[in-house]
Structure 1
C-alpha cells in the first residue's frame, strides 16, 4: 500500500518506480474510503496538489471526473459526499462535462443524509461539499447560472430533520454569492430563484419554525451579508461585489418578511 504521508512530506513529489495511472486509481479509491483518516487525510491533500500543479493532466482529470460523477449514486454516503470535492478540484482547472453537472444536480437536490459529521465516518457534509462545487460551477462563463441558483433553492426547500450545525449555511451562502457575481446576470435573473422560497415562507403558519425553514433563513441571512460586503473568490482574497447586490438585498428583505417581520 502506498505511503501517502511519505509522499506528502516530500512536497507531493511523484514516487520513483510508480506509474501515475496506478497512483491516481489508488487515490480515487482512497477518496471514498470509510476511514476518515484516509479519505480526508494525506490522499486528499495530494490529489489536490497534483490536480492544481498539472501532474494529473487533462485526460486523467476527465477520467477521474467521470468516476466522481458515477459516485453520486454510490450507496455509501462517504463516497457520495466526497465526489463533489474532487469535482471542485477538477472544475477549478477548467475541465467540465455536461453529464457531470447533471449527475451533481440530481444528487444535490435529492440527498437525504445531511449529517455534517459522523463519529465513525468523520466529515460527510453533503450540503457544504455540494455548495463548494456549485460555487465553482457558477464561476464558469459557459455554465448557465440560473439553474444553479434554482438548484440551491431546491436544496434548501427539501424537507429535512437535520438542522445545519457545521456552518453549512455559510458554505451555501458563499456558493450562492459566487454565482451571483456573474456579470451576465440581470437584476431579474439574480433574484428570480428567490420566488419559490418566498412562497414557501408565506405559506408558513405561526408556531415552531420547521427545520428546513430555519436552515433557509440562516443561509439567506449570510447571503445578505455577502451581498452587502462582497464575496472573496478564494480564502483570504479580496471581496468581489455581486453583479446586482442591491437588487438581491432588496428581494431578500421582501422574502424575509413572513419569517422575520422586523426586517
Structure 2
C-alpha cells in the first residue's frame, strides 16, 4: 500500500545501470532506449536493496510498480519473484528485506498466472520471514522508509489472492506478526492500519467458512493467556491498536471489495479481546 507522502520522485539525479533515473522519472517512466526487460529487472533488483532511499524507494520501487502495471516486466516476473523470496530470508540488511516483500506484492498483483509455478515457494519464504522480522521500524533518518511490517502486510494480502486456499494460514501468520513479542517498538507510522487492511482483504476470500475466518484468534488467545494488570508492553499495545483499526475496517469495509462475509463474527471476537484494556466497552 504505497502512500502519497512516500513519493518525492526526481529530487536529485541518479545514474544506475546506465540509466538517468531523474530524466526517466520526469518523463513519466518511459522505458530507456536500448534496455530490454531482463536488464531492467536486474537493475531494479539491485536498486531495491540500496541503502539510499532515493535510489530504492523513489526510483527503484516506483519504476517497478509502474513498469509491472504496464506489462513491461511480464517476462521477468518469475525471476524477480525468485530473487525477492530469497532476499527475504538471506539478505542481512533491513531495507532489502522489507522492499523484497513489497516487490513480491507488485509481482503478485500483476497476476499469479504470469509468475510460473513458484508462488507457493515464495509464500514459504515469506511465511518464514514475516512473523520473525525484528526490525519493524517505520522510518529511519538515514535509510528512509523501511516499513517491513506494512510491506509484509501488503504482501500477505497479495498472497491470499494468489493462493486463496492459504487464507486461513495467512490469517494465522498475520496474527503471529501482530503479537510478536521480540520488539520494544511502538508503531507510529500507521502500521496497525496496514495490517488491519490486509487482514480484512484476506477475510474477503470466498473460500473462508465462518470457522476458518475465526480460527486465527487462537493465536491471539494464546498470546494473552495468563495476562495480568500492569504496564502494557509494546507488543500488546501494537496488537490492541491493530485490533482497533481492524474493527473499523470490518465495519466500513474496503473500497474495492466491501465488507467481509463474516465481518460481524470477527468483529465480535475483536471486541472480546479489546475488553481487556478497555473494560468499559459495551
Task: Give the alignment's TM-score, normalised by structure 2.
Answer: 0.87
Give, in whole Å, the separation in 1 of the partners of 2:76 and 2:162: 21
1:83 matched residue in structure 2: 100
1:226 matched residue in structure 2: 249
Cα displacement string for residues 120-151 of structure 1 (whole angstroms, at most 9, x for unaligned residues): 11111110110011111223354420000000
Cα displacement string for residues 18-62 of structure 1 (whole angstroms, at most 9, x for unaligned residues): 2332222111101110000100112221111111111111x4100
Task: Give the alignment's TM-score, normalised by structure 1.
Answer: 0.93
Determine if contact 2:37/2:76 at 8 Å carries over to the other structure: no
Determine if contact 1:174/1:226 at 8 Å carries over to the other structure: yes
1:33 matched residue in structure 2: 50
Q: Which consecutive unaligned segments of at least 5 residues does structure 2 have? A: 1-17
Report the CA distance shift for 1:143/1:30 in structure 2 as closer, same or farther (over 3 A).
farther
Select 1:156's aligned residue among 175, 178, 183: 178
Aligned alpha-carbon RMSD (Å)? 1.4
Please report how far the alpha carbon of residue 74 of structure 1 lies from its aligned counterpart in structure 2 after TM superposition.
Answer: 0.3
2:81 matched residue in structure 1: 65
Determine if contact 1:30/1:38 at 8 Å carries over to the other structure: yes
Select 1:168's aligned residue among 191, 215, 221: 191
1:253 matched residue in structure 2: 271
1:127 matched residue in structure 2: 149
**Alignment of 1:118 onto 2:126:** no
Q: Which consecutive unaligned segments of at least 5 residues does structure 1 have? A: 234-238
1:199 matched residue in structure 2: 222
Cα displacement string for residues 70-115 of structure 1 (whole angstroms, at most 9, x for unaligned residues): 1112001110010011110110011251110000110001111111
Determine if contact 1:139/1:182 at 8 Å carries over to the other structure: yes
Cα displacement string for residues 142-169 of structure 1 (whole angstroms, at most 9, x for unaligned residues): 4420000000111112111111111100
**Alignment of 1:144 onto 2:160:** no
Report the CA distance shift for 1:66/1:176 in structure 2 as closer, same or farther (over 3 A).
same
- Aligned to 1:144, the other structure's residue is in SS state helix
1:236 matched residue in structure 2: none
Give, in whole Å, the separation in 1 of the partners of 2:32 and 2:272: 57
Count, aligned residues? 257
Please report how far the alpha carbon of residue 202 of structure 1 lies from its aligned counterpart in structure 2 after TM superposition.
Answer: 4.2
**Alignment of 1:241 onto 2:263:** no
Please report how far the alpha carbon of residue 250 of structure 1 lies from its aligned counterpart in structure 2 after TM superposition.
Answer: 1.3
- Aligned to 1:40, the other structure's residue is in SS state helix
